[in-house]
Structure 1
Amino acid sequence: MTSQLSTQQCEACHVDAPKVSDEELAELIREIPDWIPEVRDGIMMLEREFKFKNFKLAWAFSNKVAELAEAEFHHPAILLEWGKVTVTWWSHSIKGLHRNDFICAAKTDKLL
């Protein structure tokens, strides 16, 4: 199922775009099981931690995520640490989750 999301493209997300409903969240999260819905400052986000053998591999992965973000014109938080990258997707304009976040999470998984 992840491949279905990973083949889709993000759409322009405006302030009035609908957030993912609870039902949609339950369905979409099954397609990206390694991602965790987190609420920070009242904003629902998708987060996943990726582990690597060293800093250089983590850095290279961070660069791939950044290239994906630019290609999709949808930008996550990327925390680069020694042997670890934490990626957090959410839609800033709607202060929550949009289908775009699930598409980008699935595409991030494909970068491994």
Structure 2
Amino acid sequence: MVALTRLMKSSARFLQQQKTVPRWQLTEGDRSIKRRFKFKDFNEAWGFMTRVALQAEKMNHHPNWNNVYNTVEVELFTHDAGGLTDKDFTLAQFMDKAAGAAAD
């Protein structure tokens, strides 16, 4: 099981995890990470969201996201911990792999 302990920005674990998702940005207040995925078209964006939704259900960890045509904007944080946890970085890594070369 992945830890639900909030990761503090100054911790070694946080810095280690942040390196695994270099395309994600830390939001103001250091409580979440976000990324915009841009796909060729709506079908690719929707396919990506479907793959992520299945994984999110398995993890019981659901993204805050928005989809407009070929663009998916995502913000990840763990509500129960009040900020970022290992779960957020694990899901971000999955999303990066699920998007593959199809996303900018």
State the TM-score, normalizing by the size of structure 2. 0.82
Aligned residue number for residue 29 of structure 1:
18
In proportion to residue count, which structure has more strand? 1
Task: Give SS of 2:27's match.
Answer: strand
Corresponding position: 1:38 with 2:27: yes
Q: TM-score, normalised by structure 1?
A: 0.77
Query: Quick one: which of 40, 47, 59 aligns to 1:53?
Result: 40
d(CA) in 2 for partners of 1:68, 1:86: 17
Number of residue pairs matched by the alignment: 97
Q: Is the 8 A contact 1:62 1:78 kept in 2?
A: no
Q: Which runs of 5+ in 2 are unaligned?
A: 100-104
Say if 2:48 and 2:98, in contact at 8 Å, map to a contact too.
yes
Question: Larger helix proportion, structure 1 or 2?
Answer: 2
1:1-112 correspondence runs (5 A): 10-11=1-2, 13=4, 18-21=5-8, 22-23=10-11, 24-39=13-28, 44-112=31-99
Change (3 A) 1:29 1:80: same
SS at match of 1:110: helix
Shift of 1:86: 1.1
Moved over 3 A (4+): none
- Percent same amino acid at aligned positions? 31
- The answer on whether the counterparts of 2:66 and 2:74 sit within 8 Å (CA) in structure 1 is yes
Cα separation, 2, equivalents of 1:80 and 1:48: 12
